[in-house]
Amino acid sequence: MPITITKEFESALESIRSGKHILITGKAGTGKSTLLRTYLESLNDENVLVTAPTGVAALNIDGFTIHRSFGFRPGMYPDDLKPGGSWRPGSRVTSVLKAVDVLVIDEISMVRADLFDMIDIALRRIRQSDELFGGVQLVLVGDLLQLPPVVTNHEAELFSSLWDTPYFFSAHCFGNLALTNINLTTVWRQTDEEFIEVLNQVREGSVGDSALAVLNDRVDPHFRVPSDWVTLASHRRTVEKINHERLNELESPRFVSVAEHEGQTDNNSFSGSEELHYAVGARVMTIINDQGGLFVNGSFGTLVAASADTLSVRLDHNGKTVELGRYTWEIKRPSMESGVLSSDVVGTITQFPVILAWAITIHKSQGKTIPKLFINLVGGTATDGQFYVALSRGVDLAHLRFSAPVEHRHIRANNSLVRMIRREVSPLTSASRLVFLSFDGVNFGISDHVARVHAIILEDGQEVASFGSWINPMSDLGEFGRVNDVPSGGLAMAPSLGDFWPLLRRQAAGGIIIGDQLPMVERAVRHQEKGMDLALGTGYDIAEFGVAPVGDDVVSRCRSMVDAYVRDPFAVTHGQVVPSAPLDTEGAVFIPGWAAGSPMHLDPARATDSDNAWAAFSGGITGSLVPAELEETAELLSAWAISRGFWNDEQYEEVQERARRAGIDGVDINQPAEDTQNTSDLLTPGTRVVFTGRNELLGGPADDERLTQICRDRQLEYKSSVSKTRCDVLVAGDPASMSRKAQNAREFGKPIISQADFEHWYENGPFTTSVTETQATPVAESAQPIEVAAVSSAATSLNKPEREDTQPAHEWVSPWEFFREGSRVAFRGSTIIEGKLYPHGSALQSLCDSLGLDYKQAVTKTRSDVLVTDDPNASDGKMSLALRYGKPLMTQTDFSAWVTEQLANSSENDLSGPAIHGESVDDAEIADDESFPVATLAEPVVEHATPDEPVASPPTSTSVTHGDVPEADPTPHELMARALEQQLQATQHYANTSPAGPLIPTPSTPAASVPENKAAVRFKKWGIATFIVFAVSNVLGIAGLASVGIAGVMASFFMAIAVVVFGVQALVQKSKNSKLDNSGE
């Protein structure tokens, strides 16, 4: 599409000619390359060196690679350019760098920080100048949110120790570089306004539900890509496979052309194919610009004639046919001739100037326009900005399709870049309120979790607030716990990040953020508080001011930032202030009693009564506080600790003491329950044990091999993950951990013991010599339907039975009558919707958000409205808290039915809300290093009445192994049995611990359907395959390929063994199914 030289272009050209350092940025399709070409064509006497980080990018602009221009070799770093280093620039390089007036660097987003520093050092050294870049004017071109620099795995650790990010703006020289930013805004490639808006959101990595719905309306996994469409994929192997398959479909003769190299070249020196396979009918893309203007680098067409020497291509955009012979690319290096910057040819590559183009890589598509676009999402996206590059190649929504639904994980953008770009395009600001923030926490490599925050706020240069909080990271504590000496259960009463955030936002409102570790909190939201809106405006990372915070904790680091600002105020010229926050959304702060004290001073003009109560509980001002808010603070601290499984006498007394210091005596909170858990009773022979939150165990490494041996030494069985039926006990470094494993253990009713208790038992005993006789027989091994006490004494009817004890009765409510928009819902036990288990945390959070409900982790007096429970007779923490605070209960069965109805109505009405799915092993973002098992119920749970006989004890230490069935591939019958076993365990446990009223009869439920005989299916498939292999092998042997035939016969022999095994399994399963049929009649 032609680009008009607008006033925006004219202004940009004037800025470049002024001699200033220039950064030309803009979204895809805004004409950055056109502006650069226009500038280069208008040059007079200036010596301009045009470069790019890669050979392909350099060829696209008729320039040189940075390495070739500067004489850099792969593997060089800035220290190599210092005197005595390994950089030895020849006379050619020296003469070029001495004479250059303007250095152009295209595709600047791909230039690494170390390379940018090397360019600065080289120019200063060659030109013998102390000026930045030796006094050479820089013209940097590129969209910073497209493809990023590449840092290999073996370089990553060293690189991160020297530069904050791989991007050029993290170079040490960048802080002194006064860049004039030219941001092109007019999009020429796309004219579809809806598509442009979607692109803008994708570019910044923050896509709303409506934009995501627009993209997902174009999903077609069975789309047969027409010949005039182009498929983009992340990985080269995917592209090669598609092109190979489409080429093989052509019936015309095949040709092969091999590239010819001469001189100094390599495979990365040009964008063509080393081996071009082609035939008439092939889809191709040109990779050069035609001197006559018939096509450009990136034009698409079809081969209409072909030979070994020429290609005839009918171009898509104009319908004309052009004849192409082999083209010779000259590989150049810059040189000086008679004082003028020139170039020498050092090598050539000859090949046809086209590539196969049914499919091309996203990387190779950069800078191209693709009118009809199919994006293959197999393998996801590999780097920040890659999905944006792919999407922005298209021109409209009508000619766009995807192979799979677009998810937020595909849309990756670098937060530092997004922040910088948002800030630069925002209006000038003179914010008088500055908010200094410092974060610290847990880094698992694949995820970050904030565990501590501190803030200092200045208003007109005066400090008005200094406060912070420890945060429960909702994960194991890892190295953070060791460095900070966090004791077992030390963060059981700490707020989650989402609980702290409203208080922070109120204090920060109207201010510009200056943060230490801002990228960490931006990343943490993806894992720790999925879906939470940070709402911090657009501020600065402290590194952008060239300041490195000092100190061992967040308080000292935050203070060092403020001190640096006071000494030499930063130039805070652009940005967006933190928006105002609602006063009725409650926040929280907490400084643990075991931790060193830290400032707790809130800005009184911004603090609510609740905020002041929380601050008072952690060392803040204690005057003029509202007693009811103090009571609620104490209640919520106890509720968090109870829900995290760590509420003891010591913590009870700590909360009482905090309340007394805040000005209220004897708060009425839950008394800790007596701890009757005995480690030796839990760790009996055969017990299946999972470990979490351990760096080492018993003085050595805690890898899988050693953990297996440790368990074997005490007749235990090591398991790597927590599941309903295949583990019995979780050993945790911190029993109050909120790691995925610990959350699962609480959800599935598995006891949690501390690593310290496990080590004491391991070393000292006592050891049980045999499995206790009270262990329940595992349900999964029974071929008959298990009769389970129908949980629906509460689960199927709102006419609840009278309890036999003297406790007050719960109020039971119906979701159809109770729920309103924004109802605050807490959950107890397992929540299963249409056969999918929704674990506590992000999965339930997303489900509630889609239904207009507010998910709550704990039952509290003022922050929850109802508790959904899967067991009406339970008397654990959440149930007792609901009773204490008068919160009504709702059965999991009623809730599930209501949700199913809501989802069905949404589907019928075609509402554009987010799809609801239970979390899966592949899609879940894991909070620790173990995958999360999610049970999908292939058949409905069967409920039958049980005989009136007592159950000996809760099945907390069942240790019978369930065989060697692979955990990743359970049968439908086994999945049903797992759910039944969970219900049986819950019923047995609560029948033993708290009297229950008589069961109310419920309508009978049909027995489970007979499981599919999968072994019979495998027997049939393998039998056919074995026959085919055997027959083909004999044919090949007769044809003279004896070795191949023998190998095939041997393979068929082993396959026959498998057929026999499957046949036996099929007969066994058939017998079992026959019994099930008889029992169901």
Residue 201 inside a domain? The answer is no
Which ranges of 288-414 would DSSP assign to H, the alpha helix? 362-365, 386-391
Rounded to 5 degrees, what angle do the CA atoms 591, 593, 595 make?
A: 70
Residue 409 inside a domain? The answer is no
Contact by Cβ (8 Å): 188, 30: yes
Residue 30 inside a domain? The answer is yes
The reply to whether 31 and 74 lie within a common domain is yes
Contact by Cβ (8 Å): 475, 526: no
Q: Which residue has the higher pLDDT, 1068 or 1012?
A: 1068
For the cut 90, the answer to whether the pLDDT of residue 814 exceeds it is yes
Q: How high is the pLDDT of residue 39?
A: 81
The reply to whether 527 and 653 lie within a common domain is yes
Give whole-number Cα distances, 149 to 36, 114, 253, in Å: 21, 11, 41
The reply to whether 719 and 832 lie within a common domain is no
Query: SS in 3 state form for 192-235?
Result: CHHHHHHHHHHHCCCCCHHHHHHHHCCECCCCCCCCCCEEEECC
Tell me the backbone φ, ψ of residue 757, rounded to 5 degrees: -65, -40
- Rg, the chain, Cα only: 34
Q: How high is the pLDDT of residue 503?
A: 97
Rounded to 5 degrees, what angle do the CA atoms 381, 382, 385 make?
A: 75
Q: Which residue has the higher pLDDT, 802 or 220?
A: 220
The reply to whether 439 and 359 lie within a common domain is no
Return the closest-CA partner of residue 134 out of 74, 177, 91: 177
Burial 324-356 (b: 16+ CB within 10 A, else e): beebebebbbbbbeeeebebeebbbbbbbbbbb
Return the closest-CA partner of residue 269 out of 243, 244, 287, 294: 287
Last residue of a domain, one of 160, 184, 208: 184
pLDDT band at 27 (very low <50, low <70, confident <90, very high): low
Q: What tens digit of pLDDT does each residue of 143-168 get?
A: 777 667 877 766 777 787 888 778 88
919: left (phi over 0), alpha (psi -120 to 50) or beta: beta
293: left (phi over 0), alpha (psi -120 to 50) or beta: left
For the cut 70, the answer to whether the pLDDT of residue 312 exceeds it is yes
What number is the average pLDDT over the span 965-991? 38
10 Å CB burial of residue 941 (0-12, 13-18, 19+) is middle
Determine the Cα–Cα distance for residues 100 and 738; give it in Å rounded to an integer.
Answer: 59
- CATH number, domain containing residue 443: 3.30.420.10
Determine the Cα–Cα distance for residues 530 and 923; give it in Å rounded to an integer.
Answer: 13
Q: What tens digit of pLDDT does each residue of 46-95 get?
A: 889 999 887 767 766 778 889 889 999 877 888 889 888 889 998 989 99
Q: How high is the pLDDT of residue 621?
A: 93
Q: How high is the pLDDT of residue 170?
A: 85
- CATH number, domain containing residue 744: 3.40.50.10190
The reply to whether 539 and 684 lie within a common domain is no
The structure tokens 């979390």 sit at 919
The reply to whether 346 and 448 lie within a common domain is no
Q: Report the Cα 178 to chain-centroid distance in Å.
A: 35
Residue 687 inside a domain? The answer is yes
The reply to whether 144 and 258 lie within a common domain is no
Residue 885 inside a domain? The answer is yes
pLDDT band at 358 (very low <50, low <70, confident <90, very high): very high
Determine the Cα–Cα distance for residues 22 and 108; give it in Å rounded to an integer.
Answer: 12
For the cut 90, the answer to whether the pLDDT of residue 231 exceeds it is yes
Alpha carbon dihedral 92, 95, 101, 106, in 10-degree steps, equals 20
Return the closest-CA partner of residue 1011 out of 1080, 908, 930: 1080
Residue 418 inside a domain? The answer is no
Pick the most confident of 188-197, 808-817, 931-940.
Answer: 808-817
Return the closest-CA partner of residue 316 out of 402, 262, 395, 250: 395
Determine the Cα–Cα distance for residues 985 and 912; give it in Å rounded to an integer.
Answer: 40
Which ranges of 538-695 would DSSP assign to H, the alpha helix? 554-567, 609-616, 627-643, 649-662, 679-682
Q: How high is the pLDDT of residue 359?
A: 94
Determine the Cα–Cα distance for residues 78 and 88; give it in Å rounded to an integer.
Answer: 13
pLDDT band at 805 (very low <50, low <70, confident <90, very high): very low
pLDDT band at 1077 (very low <50, low <70, confident <90, very high): very low
Q: How high is the pLDDT of residue 824?
A: 93
Q: What tens digit of pLDDT does each residue of 401-457 get?
A: 999 888 877 776 656 666 666 665 456 567 799 999 999 998 775 568 999 999 999
The reply to whether 449 and 300 lie within a common domain is no
Determine the Cα–Cα distance for residues 886 and 486; give it in Å rounded to an integer.
Answer: 35
The reply to whether 541 and 602 lie within a common domain is yes
Query: Which of 151-160, 537-546, 946-955 is least confident?
Result: 946-955
The reply to whether 143 and 278 lie within a common domain is no
For the cut 90, the answer to whether the pLDDT of residue 855 exceeds it is no
Q: Count how many Cα atoms sit within 13 Å of the Cα of residue 1012 in the half-sphere of its side chain.
A: 8
Rounded to 5 degrees, what angle do the CA atoms 664, 670, 674 make?
A: 135
Q: Report the Cα 471 to chain-centroid distance in Å.
A: 21
10 Å CB burial of residue 723 (0-12, 13-18, 19+) is buried
For the cut 80, the answer to whether the pLDDT of residue 721 exceeds it is yes
Alpha carbon dihedral 798, 804, 810, 811, in 10-degree steps, equals 40
Residue 891 inside a domain? The answer is yes
Q: How high is the pLDDT of residue 191?
A: 57
Q: How high is the pLDDT of residue 15?
A: 81
Domain that holds residue 245: 227-371
The reply to whether 456 and 582 lie within a common domain is yes
For the cut 90, the answer to whether the pLDDT of residue 1047 exceeds it is no
Number of compact structural domains in the chain: 6
The structure tokens 């170079």 sit at 171
Query: Which of 257-271, 466-480, 674-688, 1064-1078 is least confident?
Result: 1064-1078
Q: How high is the pLDDT of residue 6?
A: 66
Q: How high is the pLDDT of residue 476?
A: 87
Q: How high is the pLDDT of residue 438?
A: 97
Return the closest-CA partner of residue 836 out of 826, 846, 825: 846
pTM above 0.85, yes or no: no
Q: How high is the pLDDT of residue 104?
A: 93
What does the block give as tokens for 845? 């959070």
Residue 1002 inside a domain? The answer is no
The reply to whether 433 and 569 lie within a common domain is yes
Q: What tens digit of pLDDT does each residue of 878-913 get?
A: 887 888 888 999 999 999 999 998 888 765 554 333
Sheet holding 824-828, edge to edge: 854-856, 824-828, 866-869, 889-891
For the cut 80, the answer to whether the pLDDT of residue 750 exceeds it is yes
Query: Which of 25-34, 54-63, 319-328, 774-783 is least confident?
Result: 774-783
